[in-house]
Structure 1
Amino acid sequence: MAETTLSRYYRALDEDRIDDALAMLDPEIRFVMVLPAGTRRGESRADMGTYISGRGVPDRRHLVLRESRDGDVEFLYGKVTDGGVTTGRFLSGVRLGADGLIASYEVTFDTEHVLVEDR
């Protein structure tokens, strides 16, 4: 399977290419992030940019363990590391618009549950 848009998005974030990551998002993207500290929602590329710039984590990586695509919907499961230490696992999904941009994004992150073991 060819690499998903979602996988390319996370790689851009991890490589600190924030502008490239944001360019993959529809200007009116709707998103929700279910995190241990609470749920964050937004309705624009600018909202996502504000969230990303406020994370304050210099060495975060999203390691893809599984990904799939069904038409205009993509799913990805992986683990997050900060400074090389695994901090949790995430499950995310996106819907792509006709233009190929991410129009809707949802992610859950948990520090304890492991759905799929590392390969």
Structure 2
Amino acid sequence: MVIVDYYARLDGPEPLTGLDLVEPDVGFLLALPGNEVSGSGREELRAYLEGRPAVGRKHTVVRQSADGDLEMVYGYITEGDGRGTGSFTSVALLSADKKLLRYQSFFHAGFNIFPLPAGAAA
């Protein structure tokens, strides 16, 4: 799945290679606690990614589904110290070239469908 590959790249040694999987005119919404980041275009998404603090976070996808050009994932985030900080649900509409055309992600620290990893913050 493209969205799973996107997260793997974001978490890898060269996070900006995730942008290779994004259309130049991508539309996105990232709903974070107390903040929403939205925009259009690969460069706006790049600016967001470059502005994130370097904490060694990791996206772990625990469920995934695809129906034609729509992909959906559910997972949790861990920080560099292994603490789970919350869960996310993300949806992507793919272009004909199998790149992210529309992308939205919702992160919540307090409500999780599945338990966070052992020893993680609830």
Which TM-score applies when normalising by structure 2?
0.90
Distance across 1 between alignment mates of 2:55 and 2:93: 28
2:24 is paired with a residue whose SS is strand
Distance across 2 between alignment mates of 1:27 and 1:94: 15
Alignment of 1:111 with 2:109, yes or no, is yes
After TM superposition, give the deviation of residue 19 of structure 1 in Å: 3.2
Quick check: 2:59–2:77 contact (8 Å CA) kept in 1? yes
CA gap of 1:35–1:118, structure 2 versus 1, over 3 A, is closer
Match of 1:101 among 76, 99, 102: 99
Match of 1:9 among 6, 18, 23: 6
Q: Give the number of aligned pairs.
A: 116
1:87 is paired with a residue whose SS is strand
Q: Which residue matches 1:71?
A: 68
2:4 is paired with a residue whose SS is helix
- Percent of pairs identical after alignment? 32
Greater shift after overlay, 16-25 or 90-99?
A: 16-25
Structure 1 unaligned regions, length at least 5: none
Structure 2 unaligned regions, length at least 5: 118-122
Match of 1:91 among 89, 104, 108: 89
What is the alpha-carbon root mean square deviation over aligned residues? Answer: 1.4
Which TM-score applies when normalising by structure 1?
0.92
After TM superposition, give the deviation of residue 107 of structure 1 in Å: 0.4
CA gap of 1:87–1:24, structure 2 versus 1, over 3 A, is same
2:59 is paired with a residue whose SS is strand
2:48 is paired with a residue whose SS is helix
